[in-house]
Amino acid sequence: MACDLIADMDDINPEFKTCDVSIVIGANDVVNPAAKTDKSSPIYGMPILNVVDSRQTIVIKRFIYLPFRSQSPASQLTEPGGVSNPRRPRSDAQPLAQAERQRHDARPGLAVRGT
């Protein structure tokens, strides 16, 4: 990925408010709103990409765990590291499962401006 396409977190975060779709590829903690809202979370205070401000979010995961399929707003998915992510069960967050053998050239945790 060309370095000039990678945005700095402080520069890109305000743009999510005007973004129709954010695509998240395997970057769970860096988009987890619990880092801002849940003082009991182990990632509280960590800077995140504010994809929660986008109108729609597509989450690409290698595996989609059963709790992720729940449409209950109260449900949360617990990641393998034990940190729940309240973003994905929301109705404006859509899961896309990626087969384990498939590869992509995107890098997790990077915000890229559209061209």
Q: Is the pLDDT of residue 19 over 60?
A: yes
In the chain the domains, ranked by start, together with CATH numbers, are 3-112 (3.40.50.1220)
pLDDT at 26: 76
Measured distance CA(65)–CA(62) in Å, rounded: 10
Q: Is the pLDDT of residue 24 over 60?
A: yes
Q: Is the pLDDT of residue 99 over 80?
A: no
Tokens of 60: 């690409």
pLDDT at 95: 58
pLDDT at 69: 39
Q: Higher pLDDT residue, 115 or 96?
A: 96
**Cβ neighbours of residue 66 under 8 Å, at least 6 residues apart?**
none
Annotation marks residue 29 as catalytic:
yes
User: Over the stretch 25-78, which tens digit does the pLDDT of each residue have?
Assistant: 877 788 888 899 899 989 999 999 999 899 988 877 765 554 443 444 434 455
Tokens 């619990």 correspond to: 34
Q: Higher pLDDT residue, 24 or 84?
A: 24
Measured distance CA(72)–CA(33) in Å, rounded: 17
User: Over the stretch 81-93, which tens digit does the pLDDT of each residue have?
Assistant: 556 665 545 555 6
Catalytic: which of 4, 10, 29, 38? 29
Dmax over Cα atoms in the chain, in whole Å? 40
